[in-house]
Structures are given as C-alpha cells and as structure tokens.
C-alpha cells in the first residue's frame, strides 16, 4: 500500500468538517472524498477541500476513492455505515459513541472481525482522550498495579450546554435522532477513560432525569456501580453545571489516582490499608502516604483527534498498535445503556446489558419521540477542536 491512507469523511457537519481539516495536518493521511446527506454541507466542504462529494455513504463507499472512512454522522448511523464499509474491505474509524445500542455496537465489532480476517481491515474509535499524556500515564499506573486491589471508583462529569446548542440540530437530544442525552453525547469520552482505567462494572443502578433544558432526553444522570471484585463506583453526569468540571478517582488498597482538569495525581500508602488494619495497634493511627511521581509522556505536534487518526493511519500502513481499538468502544455503550435501562425499569442492570431488553426499550422511546419545533440549524465545530 502507498505511504498515505486515502480517507473519506461521512457526515461533514460540526465534527466531520473538523476531521476534514485535521486530515490535512497528518502526513500519513489524505482527504479524498466526503459524503453528506445535506446538499449545502457537502457542496461547501467539497469546494473547500477540492474533493468529490457524495450524497450518501453508499456512493462514497463504492467510489473506489478511499481506503478508510471516518464516520461522523449522528450516532444511529454509525453501525450500519460501518458494517457496509467493512463489507467493502475498507478500514473504519467511528466517531464516538460506537452506536446508540449495545446490539448496534456488537454488529460493528463482528463485521470488523470478519473484515480483519478477509481484508486486513482496521477498526478504530475516536476516543482522543486516550492520546493525552496524563491519561496515558494514568493507564500505566493502573497497569503497574501500584494501587493494589481497586476498592472504589468515582467519575464526575459536570458540564454546561446551552439550549441553543440543543436547538442546533433536529436530531440532537431526541430519542429518535440521538438515542439519549448527556450520557450518549457528552459522556462517552469520560466513560471510555473511566472503563479503560477502572474496568466495566458488573452491576449498574442508575437514574436519569431532565432538569433544565427543553429536551426529551436526559440532561443529568447518576449511578451506583458494582465491580466483580466487590468494589463500588459512583458516577454523575450533567450539562447543567458551571463552573464545569471533569474528574475521576480510582482508589485501591495501596493508594489513589486522581485525574481531572489539573492533571494526574497519584498518592500511595506506605502500608496497604488491609495490612495496616490487620497489624496496627494504635487507636488514631492511619497509613502514612507519599506522593508517587509519575512521568507524563510528551505528546507530539499532532494531538487529540488528529493523533488518534494518525495512529489509525499508521496502524493501516505499518501495523502500529491502535490507541483506541474499535471493539473497546463497547464498554462506554454498555454503561450508557445500563444506566438508561436501570432508570427506566427501576431495577439494577447486569453487564453485559441484555441486548433484546435494550433494543425493545429504545424502540419504545423512539416511538414516543416528538419532532422538534425549536430547531435553528447550525453545524459549527466546537472551537476547541476546530
Ligand atoms: N470526538 C469528538 O470529540 C466529537 C465531538 C463532537 C461530535 N462527535 C460525534 O460526531 C458525530 C456527529 O456529531 P456533530 O456534532 O458533527 O453533528 P452535526 O449535526 O453537526 O453533523 C452531522 C452531519 O452528518 C450528516 N448526516 C446525517 N446522516 C447522514 C448519513 N446517513 N450519511 C451522511 N451524512 C449524514 C448531516 O447532514 C450533518 O452534516 C456524533 O456521533 C458525535 O457524537 C464527536
């Protein structure tokens, strides 16, 4: 294969147009085609990047112009487009989340496995936080085992989104168009990081609610989590909070890791909690603690989304291991579906989430979905990613 991967971007709206621009900064990648069902969007992008534009994914996939696609359509379309692309022997990078449902994500994973065997296709998911230095360092800390047996996890995602943001697309924040609210749209990155570091809980008891926005899906969710080893976790997410924050903690027998906007902090116990509790005889004693120095890997010139796409291109060209393999995107969908299913049924949910139960629930929610009357179409890349 040539030293450059020819990419098509499917869905060239806010995020997809960002990908179109970013591809030009990656030496191993080249934008060769776009597809968007919106004529205005595809004409503008085609003119800006001087590439052919197709009016649907199928035409782009069959064009022979691309080796790989980035799927940046609304979430419901990620699985069918990915499955079709894999059947053509292409490489697929899906935007987050993999899909709205675990069954949709499963379909991508099994198509990817078949295509890997038959054509050598690669499957990636756009979890760009995995490429950030502090997060990579946190992964090394977890893998080193210095925290000991994990006892507690905690994830707080307190963000803000305006009503104008929700009004900017007809698909946004509807059961029929998006398949959920803050859980499916804003939370996947942090949920991916949380499960990448702390693993997938075996039991989820969750609540979702709509507190502040005029939307039919949740703008707030919280959950209690149980892990296979008996550890517990707590999770909160919202688009109603300012000042905004995002942070997670993973607390083990031997120490604690904190990862938030200020970076990574690891503190270790000189004696593990379990050993200290067994052997100490002093009434008010507790384990001495020490900061644990962690080296943060330096990020290259190409960062964030572009770093994930560059790694994906290098995986195709040179077999470089993927930073964000597509199949690992399933865990975030398990958590999202688990919390929504638990809230709607009032019961705790075990993972893997019952595929048939969630499919039935989402069909019911889609059927209840109302056409939005307050849409002011606006496809603008988040300035942080532009
Ligand atoms: N990784 C990130 O940081 C990040 C950030 C924002 C959005 N996203 C993801 O990107 C996806 C798109 O979000 P957005 O904010 O860009 O939405 P958007 O509405 O701005 O853009 C979506 C585009 O897809 C087009 N489209 C819809 N269905 C299509 C189809 N079947 N085939 C071709 N084109 C189609 C629409 O016309 C639109 O131009 C979502 O899945 C979202 O979660 C990821």
Is the CB of 22 within 6 Å of ligand 1? no
Q: Are the beta carbons of 52 and 46 closer than 8 angstroms?
A: yes
Q: Evaluate: CB of 34 within 6 angstroms of ligand 1.
A: no
- How would you classify the pairing of strands 68-71 and 91-94? parallel
Indicate the CATH number for domain 5-129+301-324.
Answer: 3.40.50.720
pLDDT at 371 over 90: no
126 C-beta closer than 6 A to ligand 1: yes
Assign 212 a pLDDT band (cuts: 50, 70, 90). Answer: very high
The confidence score (pLDDT) of residue 317 equals 98
pLDDT band, very low/low/confident/very high, at 380 (cuts 50, 70, 90): confident
Average pLDDT, the chain: 96
Per-residue tokens: 89:
């022997």
Please report the atom of ligand 1 found closest to the CA of residue 169.
19
More confident residue, 224 or 382: 224
Whether 374 shows a pLDDT value over 90: the answer reads: no
List, for residues 62-84, the tens digit of each pLDDT value.
999 999 999 999 999 999 999 99
- The pLDDT value recorded for residue 378 is 82
pLDDT of residue 2: 61
pLDDT at 46: 97
CA atoms within a 13 Å half-sphere pointing along the CA-CB vector of 69: 34
Helix (H, G, I), strand (E, B) or coil at 260: strand
Residue 279 in 3-state DSSP? helix
**pLDDT computed for residue 373 by the predictor:** 84
Ligand 1 near 172 CB (within 6 A):
no
132 lines ligand 1 (CB under 6 A): no
Atom of ligand 1 at shortest range from CA of 41: 39
User: How many whole angstroms from 381 Cα to the centroid of ligand 1?
Assistant: 10
Residue 86 has pLDDT above 70, yes or no: yes
The DSSP code sequence of 20-80 is: HHHHTT-TTEEEEEEE-S-HHHHHHHHHHHT--EESSHHHHHTSS--SEEEE-S-GGGHHH
35 CB near ligand 1 (under 6 Å): yes
* % pLDDT > 70, the chain: 98
| Å from CA of 227 to ligand 1 middle | 33
Tell me, using a 6 A CB cutoff, whether residue 16 lines ligand 1.
Answer: yes
Report domain 132-299+331-368's class.
alpha beta
Reading the block at residue 76, the tokens are: 């419901």
Stretch 223-231: mean pLDDT, rounded?
A: 98
Distance of CA 119 to CAs 4, 88, 229, 287, Å? 18, 9, 39, 55
Residue 117's SS3 state is helix
CA 155 to chain centre: 14
Query: Does residue 37 line the site of ligand 1, with CB under 6 A?
Result: yes
Residue-by-residue DSSP string for 167-220: HT-TTTT-TTTTS-STTTTTTHHHHHHHHHHH---SEEEEEEE--SSS-SS-SE
Mean pLDDT of 281-304: 96
Whole-number pLDDT of residue 385: 60
pLDDT for position 76: 96
Ligand 1 atom closest to the CA of 73, numbered from 1: 24
Return the ligand 1 atom nearest residue 380 CA. 20
pLDDT tens digits for range 124-157: 999 999 999 999 999 999 999 999 999 999 999 9
pLDDT score of 239: 98
Ligand 1 centre distance from Cα of residue 14 (Å): 6
Mutate to test the pocket of ligand 1, among 12, 48, 74 (most ligand atoms within 8 A of CB): 74
- What backbone phi and psi angles, to 5 degrees, belong to 70? -105, 120
**pLDDT (mean) for 284-301:** 96
Residue 1 pLDDT? 52
What values do phi and psi take at 10, rounded to 5?
-110, 115
How sure is the predictor about 372, in pLDDT bands with cuts at 50, 70 and 90? confident
**Closest to 99 (Cα-Cα) out of 214, 186, 179:** 179
Spans of all domains in the chain: 5-129+301-324, 132-299+331-368
Residue 386 in this model has a pLDDT that exceeds 70 = no
Residue 74 Cβ contacting ligand 1 at under 6 Å: yes
**Which stretch of 292-301, 303-312, 343-352, 365-374 has the lowest confidence by average pLDDT?**
365-374
Q: Backbone phi, then psi, for 94, in 5-degree steps?
A: -95, 140
Q: How confident is the model at residue 375 (pLDDT cuts 50, 70, 90)?
A: confident
Cis status of the peptide bond prior to 352, with omega within 30 of 0: yes
Q: What is the pLDDT of residues 351-370, one digit of tens each?
A: 999 999 999 999 999 999 98
């Amino acid at each position: 294969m040539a030293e450059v991967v020819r990419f098509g971007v499917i869905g060239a709206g806010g995020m997809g147009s960002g990908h179109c621009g970013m591809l030009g900064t990656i030496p191993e990648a080249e934008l060769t085609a776009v597809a968007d069902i919106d004529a205005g969007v595809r004409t503008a992008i085609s003119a800006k990047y001087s590439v052919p534009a197709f009016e649907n994914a199928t035409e782009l996939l069959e064009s022979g112009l691309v080796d790989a696609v980035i799927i940046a359509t609304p979430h419901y379309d990620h699985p069918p487009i990915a499955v079709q692309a894999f059947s053509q022997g292409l490489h697929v990078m899906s935007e987050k989340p993999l899909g709205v449902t675990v069954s949709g994500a499963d379909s991508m994973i099994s198509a990817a496995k078949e295509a890997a065997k038959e054509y050598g296709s690669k499957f990636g998911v756009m979890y760009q936080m995995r490429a950030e230095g502090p997060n990579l360092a946190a992964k090394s800390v977890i893998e080193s085992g210095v925290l000991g047996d994990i006892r507690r996890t905690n994830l707080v995602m307190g963000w803000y989104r305006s009503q104008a943001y929700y009004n900017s697309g007809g698909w946004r924040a509807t059961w029929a168009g998006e398949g959920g609210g803050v859980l499916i749209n804003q939370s996947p990155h942090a949920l991916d990081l949380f499960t990448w570091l702390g693993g997938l809980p075996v039991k989820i008891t969750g609540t979702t609610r709509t507190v502040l926005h005029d939307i039919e899906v949740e703008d707030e969710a919280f959950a209690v989590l149980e892990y296979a080893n008996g550890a517990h976790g707590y999770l909160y997410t919202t688009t109603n909070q300012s000042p905004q924050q995002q942070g997670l903690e993973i607390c083990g027998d031997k120490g604690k890791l904190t990862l938030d906007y200020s970076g990574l902090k690891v503190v270790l116990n000189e004696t593990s909690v379990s050993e200290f509790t067994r052997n100490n005889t002093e009434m008010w004693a507790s384990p001495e603690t020490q900061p644990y120095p962690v080296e943060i890997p330096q990020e290259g010139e190409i960062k964030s989304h572009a770093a994930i796409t560059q790694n994906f291109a290098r995986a195709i060209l040179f077999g470089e291991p993927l930073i964000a393999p597509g199949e690992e995107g399933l865990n975030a969908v398990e958590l999202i579906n688990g919390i929504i299913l638990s809230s709607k049924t009032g019961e705790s949910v075990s993972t893997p989430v019952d595929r048939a139960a969630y499919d039935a629930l989402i069909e019911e929610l889609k059927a209840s979905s109302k056409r939005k009357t307050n849409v002011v179409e606006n496809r603008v890349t988040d300035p942080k990613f532009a």
